[in-house]
Structure 1
């Protein structure tokens, strides 16, 4: 009887978790689509405002509008996918769009000032990309460490179950498997 009751509880918990996960995914997808639409709308508005400028000021305005759109869509995609790779890709895309803005602003300068400006923009871009790559590696290392700890704790729990017999042991093993996702 205890085995059947434990199995029913585990199945009910799993179904509840699956339902919550599905609901969150649908909500995330709606949020993602809304962010994309918002970014497109805001870009159009900002782009229209740029028409009142001329020459390099207009280029800067357009590039800034594109960068804002890139930031919004990249962050929304990273949140929607919720993976280290997606977050790193978003950071890289944002860094590249900010680099484009900085380069466009450098066009107002001439000679060595322009060269220095471009080098500073490139250095900031390389730095931001390196940070994104490092963040991705840190997250991966933490995930690996968490999984290793969980595996070790699962082995301890199973070892404790070996001291039991019969239905008690089966219940203990089922509990350990449910607790550690095995």
Structure 2
């Protein structure tokens, strides 16, 4: 009987220690997450200050890049803290949106067809990144929709490139895009 009480006491002691260890791990994980968030904000302020020396579209691009870098850092910290597939997919989508904002800003320095192609490539890149995030969740419907979105985005880019051509060359280009992308 006495041995059973000793063993029970040891089990309770081990359980109490593990619970305390888990609580300490959670606290240190939360602290690391908070520190990473603060570091991302500090890096953003430093990067943003560098942009003040620039002007025009160069400054706008610099600011968007600083914001995108901050978003990437914060989302990586969130993924490390939560450690779930849903958090990872959400983070990658937020990062895709930030990268898309940078790409759009870079396109503003262009004009005409080159700008149209640039914007469609930026949107295609965003769609591809979002599709990859959805794929990480392994949701079959999201996979099918994502493939369709990527194909549509690539098709739009191909057609935009064809717009620079005229006559038979334009028709041949559009036909080739349809054939290549199964549209």
TM over 0.5: yes
Query: 1:17 and 1:137 mapped to 2: Cα distance?
Result: 33
1:12 Cα deviation (Å)? Answer: 3.6
- Residue by residue over 1:97-144, the C-alpha shift from the partner in whole angstroms, topping out at 9 and shown as x without a partner, is 011111111111111111111111111111111111111238xxxxxx
Q: Which segment drifts farther, 58-67 or 20-29?
A: 20-29
- Which residue does the alignment assign to 2:112? 111
Structure 2 residue ranges without an equivalent (≥5): 140-183
Query: 2:124 and 2:135 mapped to 1: Cα distance?
Result: 16
1:48 matches 2:49: yes
Alignment of 1:161-180 (within 5 A): none
Q: State the structure with bigger RCO (CA 8 A, min sep 6), 1 or 2.
A: 1
Structure 1 residue ranges without an equivalent (≥5): 139-182
TM-score by length of 1: 0.69
- Which residue does the alignment assign to 1:66? 67
1:49 Cα deviation (Å)? Answer: 0.9
- Residue by residue over 1:135-180, the C-alpha shift from the partner in whole angstroms, topping out at 9 and shown as x without a partner, is 1238xxxxxxxxxxxxxxxxxxxxxxxxxxxxxxxxxxxxxxxxxx
Alignment of 1:20-99 (within 5 A): 20-99=21-100
Query: 1:8 and 1:87 mapped to 2: Cα distance?
Result: 41
Let me know the Cα RMSD of the aligned residues.
1.8
1:119–1:6: structure 2 CA closer, same or farther, 3 Å change rule? farther
Query: 2:38 and 2:121 mapped to 1: Cα distance?
Result: 33
